[in-house]
Amino acid sequence: MKILITGANGQLGSEFRQLANEWPDSEFVFTDIEELDVTRIGLLHGFVANKQFDFLINCSAYTAVDKAEDESEIAYMLNVQACENLALVCKKNNIVLVHFSTDFIFDGKKTGAYIETDPPAPLSAYGKTKLLGEDMLRKNCNNSLIIRTSWLFSAFGNNFVKTIIKKASENNQLQVVFDQIGTPTYAADLAYAVLNIIHQYKISGNKLYHFSNEGAISWYDFAMAILELSDTKCDISPVLSVDYPVKAVRPANSLFDKSKIINDFQLTIPYWRHSLEKCINLLKK
């Protein structure tokens, strides 16, 4: 099996790098913008031509949620145009495209966990571009696997876990919202699940799934657990979202129902706190 990974220097792409050795029979090709600009379709066509890739795992994305409100054109290029480019190239070269989307495509007003068929209603520019990216992919690709995820964290890249540890070491007090509920997703768990899926199952047609770790918490609960497990001292106060203004509106409920991906691929998904502990242990090294 030959696998191309784009956006390989981010937190999710870096986790794929870490796991590649566990599949010695597969050939991995890791690229980021320096090697392959996914917004330029001509470069994409030239890069994949005659290389006979079986899968393209797209980890490239614009993820600066608040900046996207002012940088909508850049977000569109990376989250929408790039998806169309990748879909067209994969269709032409008979490559299965694996792509990642987000809880931000929902408005968070549902009571209970979101399933894949719930109607999207993004509240932010970021969420709108990610939803459009999904649409572009389904429209232009024959065989794909779209996985929506939430609250991604890792020992690599920029994320909430590393931000909380850094800010807590620099400040005596922090404020974190407690009225936004969801589930953290350890990027290593997501990458491992994807590699297991593509090595064991045939992906035919366009498939959509939800994936996060197990459990349900608020951002405040998550921050408290981060401080506890990292042995970091700081007073954290819970605040309402209306009292913590940001440019982009976040969904109040980001919970995902994961029964579809669990049942279709026989997955066992770890509890968020167990995975957080693994991540923080890596950060301590």
φ, ψ of residue 91 in degrees (nearest 5)? -65, -45
Torsion angle of alpha carbons 104, 108, 110, 115, nearest 10°?
A: 20
**Which residues face 182 on adjacent strands?**
217
Catalytic residue among 62, 76, 114, 126: 126
CA distances from 239 to 71, 149, 150, 152 (A): 28, 25, 21, 22
DSSP for residue 105: G
DSSP notation for 206-243: EEEEE---B--EEHHHHHHHHHHHHT---EEEEE-GGG
* 76 classed as catalytic: no
* CA nearest neighbour of 168 among 219, 239, 234, 236: 234
Give catalytic residue positions.
Answer: 126
